[in-house]
Amino acid sequence: MEGTEPEYELQYIDIGNVDFNGNVHDVITYKFEDAPSRARRIVRHGDIIISTVRTYLQAIAPIENPPKNLIVSTGFAVVRPNRSLFDARFCKYALRENHFLWEVESRSTGVSYPAINAFDLADIRISLPDLATQRLIADYLDRETAHIDALVTEKEKMLALLEEKRTALISHAVTRGLNPDAPMKPSGLDWLGNIPAHWKVERAKNIFSVRDQRSQTGDEELLTVSHITGVTPRSEKNVYMFQANNKAGYKRCYPGDLVVNTLWAWMGAMGISPLEGIVSPDYHVYTSKGLLLPEFAELLCRSKPFVAEINRWSKGVWSSRLRLYPENFFDMRLPVPPHEDQREIVKFIGIEQQKNNGLIKTLHQSIALAKERRAALITTAVTGQIPFEEMRQ
């Protein structure tokens, strides 16, 4: 990579761009001068990349017909099959066989950030049938996993549609109310448009104030904030990233407080805390002055127009580095319905969500079972447990 022109554009795959099934998505284009320092590994058609860090993610993917400027993270090992012994399509499945995955994880070191070195990875044994058998198995798995993946894709689309419907419902309710016949008035805000005539608009500084209480011991429940789940206990998340050993000095928050992930607020990473705990000192915590009920404020945080406005008020040179600071947040103007209207909106959204919860649960269970079947199928085929006659059908 030495001597590369600063303006040269490259496409970059990081570990987060590879999903559990080995699909690559959301590839990012960088100018070389702006690319992460770990964007250094060159790949070619037929390679398989396998994550050597955060190995629990099982970020393993084949490289197929890559553009000339494709670069992957140094967090990947690049496996290049010897074509006289190892079929590339068979290889991508052999590296997803359960015993191989178990070996990778068992040889990884580190609790918060488990990793395996290249020597230990190369030392893992793989059973290789002859090339003709490898190709037969690869053909069979290509067909069968394609059927399973198509089924999972359809179910995930249904989940996405349900979530889109929910978000649209919330966005309409918190900006327009529930009564379609209510008299409306201009809010004076582009993002909000017309609002019910009896609603108010207030600056955020009149609705919230900063809470900057610090933990003395760091022993309280550690909370995290995301754009998907809002404020939740860190213990309920499958998060293996680094955590400070000493959390003294972390910010305290209490039920009903608004917690904003300063780094990711532009994506909607904020919400009302349901319990007492501590959050990163890089977050901002706000306490309500009573104009907005906590449950209504939580819905507002989940609405697309509000998140778009948060994005507009966030500051930074690049979109991926925007930050929302209190002085900017307090300049925002927010809708303030009467408490009675807020309670009705919260109740209505809760009832509507309850109607879909059963279907959502069923879809998640079905997707999980399909993924388990996919993994089991790969293992049984790669280890020779499926008769050749069945694979040829």
Alpha-carbon gap, residue 271 to 233, rounded angstroms:
13
Whether residue 224 is found in the same domain as residue 115: no
Q: Which of 336, 355, 379 is the last residue of a domain?
A: 336
Please determine, for residue 307, whether its predicted confidence score (pLDDT) is greater than 70.
yes
Rounded mean pLDDT of 268-283? Answer: 94
pLDDT tens sequence across 177-198: 999 999 999 999 999 999 999 9
Alpha-carbon gap, residue 179 to 277, rounded angstroms:
38
* Residue at 137 is within a domain: no
The predicted pLDDT at position 142 comes to: 94
Rounded mean pLDDT of 264-268? Answer: 89
The predicted pLDDT at position 317 comes to: 65
Whether residue 118 is found in the same domain as residue 211: no
Find the Cα–Cα–Cα–Cα dihedral 203, 204, 209, 210, rounded to 10°.
-130
Please determine, for residue 242, whether its predicted confidence score (pLDDT) is greater than 60.
no
The predicted pLDDT at position 246 comes to: 78
pLDDT classification of 34: cutoffs 50, 70, 90: confident
Domain count, the chain: 2
Alpha-carbon gap, residue 306 to 268, rounded angstroms:
9
Give the tokens for residue 371.
């993924």
Ranges 109-113, 209-213, 338-342, 381-385: which has the least confidence? 109-113
The predicted pLDDT at position 235 comes to: 77
Whether residue 35 is found in the same domain as residue 120: yes
> DSSP assignment of 132-188, as one string?
HHHHHHHHHHHHHHHHHHHHHHHHHHHHHHHHHHHHHHHHHHHHH-S-TTS-EEE-S
> DSSP assignment of 174-233, as one string?
HHH-S-TTS-EEE-S-TTT-EEETT-EEEEGGGTEEEE--B-SSS-SPBEEEETTTEEEE
pLDDT tens sequence across 327-383: 999 999 999 999 999 999 999 999 999 999 999 999 999 999 999 999 999 999 999
Rounded mean pLDDT of 157-168? Answer: 95
Q: What are the φ and ψ backbone dihedral angles of 195, each rounded to 5 degrees?
A: -130, 160
Residue 59 lies in domain: 1-124
Whether residue 107 is found in the same domain as residue 235: no
pTM for this one?
Answer: 0.77
pLDDT classification of 243: cutoffs 50, 70, 90: low
* Residue at 178 is within a domain: no
* Residue at 267 is within a domain: yes
Alpha-carbon gap, residue 214 to 57, rounded angstroms:
34
The predicted pLDDT at position 245 comes to: 65
Please determine, for residue 320, whether its predicted confidence score (pLDDT) is greater than 80.
no
pLDDT tens sequence across 117-154: 888 998 999 889 999 999 999 999 999 999 999 999 99
**CATH number, position 325:** 3.90.220.20
Whether residue 216 is found in the same domain as residue 323: yes
* Residue at 246 is within a domain: yes
Whether residue 210 is found in the same domain as residue 113: no
The predicted pLDDT at position 368 comes to: 94
* Residue at 116 is within a domain: yes
Q: List Cα–Cα distances, 298 to 170, 271, 339, in angstroms.
A: 10, 6, 14
The predicted pLDDT at position 237 comes to: 61
pLDDT tens sequence across 62-79: 999 999 989 999 999 999
The predicted pLDDT at position 190 comes to: 94
